Each structure stands twice: as structure tokens, then as C-alpha cells.
Structure 1
């Protein structure tokens, strides 16, 4: 026992055992400053995860009673509708995550410090601007990534038993943006973009408004880009176009992009060709004169979904890295 303090002297071997992992330094400061936003995000994610787990349990109970997985689900009737409808509100909430986090987490992250002079106070300390910016972006990215990865995995786990049922979720839009790496990539890009907007505008409210417009524009642009990430497959037939079995058989849940009439010479005609014929016989004669021999259908098979998601996510991650690089270049001289 120490003669000066009257407290036990801790040996070097015993000291590490009494220590607990904790945030310190700049990381602790950033967490302390933005803990309300971080904890709100994590808390909301936990609640949504709990709801997904509950809904998945209900779905599995229903499917098990139906005979799944040994029984095909093609004959699901109206009793399945409540379970299918449960996906809609959750998918909508997940689709709003990039916009909400971009506006309320990304935009104020640095704009508030620049507006209220906190950035000048930090710049006057021994910590470099680069380290301060890296800690802010890094910690925010970790919290956002943990939340979105958990939600993406959970939603995909819930959807997996019925993913082949095209009436539950459209895999080319709703499911595409709420499962796999896409939610993470979209959210990180929107959040980092919001940070960059805040740094340039230096006003929190203005940055939040502009970031909202930016986030909506990203969603619209992504909606246009999404389908171009896949390799279009073409199926053709040569059995005419009027018989019941003349149309090509497509894989389950395939997304049909276009359909045309195919002529003997390989040319494509619009499916409305000869539609104005006065009778079935007249239409058949019209199609024969046009040398129509079958159908040509362009589609995307669901088997390409994972590859399309990773390609799209890679593009978004690259754009995020470019915006982050801009922030560091800008921050070295103007982040005060």
C-alpha cells in the first residue's frame, strides 16, 4: 500500500485486467458531439430489425403450414396476401434511409461546425484538420454501415423464402435497393455527398435543403441506371404468334424489357403490327404478308440480380471515395 495515498499499488500485470475498452481522444470527442444522431440511428435500426424478425417468423409459420419448402408456392391464394403486404411498408422505410441520413446526418456533420465556429476552435488545437475530418467521416461511416448492413441482411433473410414470387416484391426495383450491398452503397454516397454540400455551403439549414434535392436526384438517376447493369437476354420462337404456346417460356421472376414480332429475315416488328385488322382471319393474313414467324423477347433473368447489385454498388463506392477525396483536398485549406 502506498504511504502517500493509502491506496493499493496496482502492478503492471494487474493493470490491463482492470481496464475496459473505451473511446478516447478525437474519436470520443466526435462521438460525444454527434451521439444523439448516432444513437437515434442505431436505435431506429434495432426497432426495425425487431419488426423484420417478427414478420419473418409469421411468414415462416404460414409457409410451414402450407407445406414449404417441399410444396411449391405457385398456388398461394388470398390467405397469403397479408404476409405479402407486410413487405411494402418496410421496403418503403428502407428506401427512405439514404435520403433521411443524407439530410439529417450528412449535411449537418461539418456544416454545423463551420457555421458556429467550432471548426476554428478545432483548427487552433494540436489536432490536424485531416485527422479531425478523417475521424468525423470514419466514425459516421462505421455507424451508417453497421446499421444499413444489418437492415439489408435482415430484409434479404425475410424475403428469401418467397423471392421467386414476383407478386411479393419487384426484384428489379424494390428488392434490388433493399438487399445486398446496394443499400449500404446508396446510403454512404448520399451521406458523404451531404457532408460535401455542407462543407461548401457552410450553413446547416441550407445544406440540409440542398442535400434533400441531391438525395432525390441520386434516387432518380439510380432508378434509370439500375436496369442497364444487367446483360439483356433475348428469347425467340418460330411457331407463329397466334398459337397459345407460341410465346417464349421465360425463367421464373424474369423481368421482361421488350417484346416484338420476329420476321423470317430476322427483322423486328412492333407487337402492335396488324392489331387493327378487322377479324382474326384478316390479322393472320396480315402477319403472313409481313413474314412474321414468331416472337422476340428481351428480358433480364433474376439470376443476374447479385451481379448487378455488386456492379452498381462498386460504382457508388467509387463515387463515394471520389467525394471523400474532394473533402480532404478542400479541407486542407478551407475547412475553417
Structure 2
């Protein structure tokens, strides 16, 4: 049975190996060059005050880091998209045809009339090819995490939707889920093309909905409210305003994931506008950076506040494990559905 499964899967497997090898070579060649440049620049930071921006040389070194980040920014976006797309491709081209094509062409009848039971026939296909799918995602995720390490250190942000979904262990859960989803749809629909289309649609929906609706709520976040006065605004990082509201850029711990930052509100919880306090914002029309301490002192009498909600950096790995576990559990449930359908069909 294992030999038969390999014979049926060898074309997809060989194609996947060629593409995976090409991707690995690209990651290694470009990654080694980027890591070398980053290490050379970081070595210069070992000199006291070399990277604090206090001297022309320090500012020039900071410009080098910025240039390194800008030069690789388009490439990192493309590679992240590749790592996220691989589980979808696994579900479409490995999962959906796995059973659906046999049911569609009728070749399953030959397999089911042999001495191998239907459940064993299904188990060999699911375990063998599912393991290959997870191994492929694991290798790409490891390469992506290593390749993007210097850029992630420069930005200090591991929480962006594409960044989180293309690093560490989450892609493994996505690969298992997409493969099981495609296989289940092929089994239930008995048609390969509809199963492929629905697998793609569901996976895209998951990539959109999970970062926005599920991931932020897997662990309790931290909410902090800052009063708007001279003391607090002197610690803020900037000011952004429009005709309807304005925001101060509030401080959060290093490496935190900012999930919510509503505009400034009054004591009644109503959003206020810059136009409501024209005397407090005289410098916004001049083009110079506003004096936040002066603005805060002026606004203090209005009893305003602003709230920030975030996940601390310590939540990164727990959220990685939780999200991976959710998708592995969904993959297990879909695989169980396949076995249930096969046994029901047998009876």
C-alpha cells in the first residue's frame, strides 16, 4: 500500500522537492549576504556611543541600517507571501486530488476490492503525504525565520499578520490544516476542481479572519489609560490628527503587539477633535514639530484621556503554540471526518 501511495504521489513529490530546493538555495545565498552585512554593521556598534545617534558617525551607521532594511523590504514581503502560500498550495494540489481524483475517476473501486481495508488505505495516504506537507512547511518556516532575523531585529516587530504567520511553528499548523481540508473536501464532494477552489477560498478567509478576530483574543491583553496632561504627554512619541479625531502615540513596552489605540476621549467617553481646542494646537499649522508637553498642559483642564491595548512580548511564543495547536486540532477533526465517512461508506 505504501508503494502504491508513493507511485500515485511521486509526480507531486518530485515537483515539490525541486521547488523546495530552489527556494532553499535562494534563501541561503541572499540570507548569507544579508547576515554578513548586518554582522559587520553591528560590530561597529560595539564602540561606545557608536549607535546612539549622538555623533555624525553614529547617524551614518543608523542610515546604513535603514538602507539595509529598505533594500530587502520588497524581498521579505515576497518571501513571506511564499511561506504563507505553501500551505494553501499543499491543500490545493496535494490534499484535494488525493481522494477526490480517485473517486472522480473510479479507481478507488480497485483499491477497495483488494485485501487492504479502506481505513488502512486512507491512513497510509493521510499520514504519509500529511507528514510530507508538514515537513515542507517546517523547512520553509525555518529558512524564513533565519533569513529574516536581522530585519526582524531592526524593526522589532514580529506581530504583523504576514510576519507572525510565516515564522517559527505556525506554518506547520497551517500546512496540516490545509492538507486535511483539501482531502476532506475532495472526499465529500467527489470532484477535484470544486474541492481545490473551496480549499483556496477557505484558506484565504482564515488568513484574513484569524489575525483580526481570533489571535488577539487567545490571551488576555493589557489595557492602559493615560490622562492627557503635561507629565504624560512629555512621554508620548508623537501626535496625529484629522478633522474628526486625534491620537497621541502612546508608549508601550518593547516588542509589544499594539492591538487597539482609540483616539483621545473626554470624561464621558466621547471622541474629541483638534478643532474643539484651537488654543492648544497653535503650532500644528506651522510645520514644526509640536511641543507635546505644552499641548498636554493646555489640555489638562479638559480632563481628557487616551487608552492603549497591547500584548506584551512574552505572549509571542504562547500565541504561536496556541494558534498552531488550534489548526492541528482542526486538521485532526477533518481527518476524523474522513475516517468516519469511509467507515460509513463501507457499511
Q: TM-score range by the shorter chain?
A: 0.7 to 0.9
Distance in 2 separating the partners of 1:238 and 1:246: 11
1:43 maps to what in 2? 18
Q: How many residues align?
A: 306
Task: Pick closer, same or farther for the CA change 1:311–1:98 going to 2, 3 Å.
Answer: same
121, 125, 137: which one pairs with 1:132?
Answer: 121
How many Å apart are 1:280 and its aligned residue? 1.3
Which 10-residue stretch deviates more, 45-54 or 313-322? 45-54
User: Highest CA radius of gyration, 1 or 2?
Assistant: 1
Take 1:79 and 1:139, find their aligned partners in 2: how far apart are those partners?
Answer: 42
TM-superposed deviation, 1:301: 2.7
Instruction: Tell me how far 1:82 sits from its aligned partner.
Output: 1.1
CA distance in 1, matches of 2:211, 2:223: 22
Query: Of the candidates 160, 165, 172, which is equivalent to residue 177 of structure 1?
Result: 165
Give SS of 2:276's match: coil
Conserved? CA contact 2:31–2:147, under 8 Å:
yes
CA distance in 1, matches of 2:17, 2:220: 37
Change (3 A) 1:207 1:184: same
SS of the residue corresponding to residue 153 of structure 2 reads coil
Query: Once the 2 structures are TM-superposed, how far is the Cα of residue 68 of structure 1 from its aligned partner?
Result: 4.2
What residue is the counterpart of 1:291 in the other structure? Answer: 303
Structure 2 counterpart of 1:114, from 103, 120, 132 = 103
1:69-124 per-position Cα deviation (integer Å, ceiling 9, x unaligned): 85559922335421333211111111111221111111100011111111110111
Gaps of 5+ in 1: 1-25
Give SS of 1:99's match. Answer: helix
Distance 2:148 2:218 in 1: 22
Q: Which of 191, 196, 199 is residue 179 of structure 2 equivalent to?
A: 191
Q: Distance in 2 between matches of 1:207 and 1:236?
A: 48
Partner of 1:7: none
- Match status 1:252 vs 2:254: yes
Counterparts of 1:198 and 1:61, CA distance in 2: 47
Are 1:216 and 2:204 counterparts? yes
1:198-209 equivalences in 2 (<5 Å): 198-209=186-197
Q: Which residue among 308, 315, 319 is the counterpart of 1:308?
A: 319
Match of 1:6 in 2: none
Q: How many Å separate the matches in 1 of 2:110 and 2:335? A: 23
After TM superposition, the structure 1 = structure 2 runs for residues 208-287 of structure 1, keeping only pairs within 5 Å, are 208-224=196-212, 225-238=214-227, 240=229, 243-246=233-236, 248-259=250-261, 261=264, 269=269, 272-273=272-273, 275-280=275-280, 287=299
Q: CA deviation at 1:151?
A: 0.9
Q: 1:139 to 1:281 in 2, by over 3 A?
A: closer
Which structure features the higher share of helix residues? 2
Contact 2:96 2:182 in 1 (8 A): yes
- TM normalised by structure 2 equals 0.78
Q: Deviations over 1:42-71 (max 9, x none)?
A: 221221122111221111111122134855
Secondary structure of 1:64 counterpart: helix
Check whether the contact 1:172–1:227 (CA below 8 A) recurs between aligned residues. no
Counterpart of 1:180 in 2: which secondary structure? coil
Candidates 332, 336, 339, aligned match of 1:328: 339
Deviation of the 1:273 alpha carbon: 4.9
Give, in whole Å, the separation in 2 of the partners of 1:312 and 1:150.
19
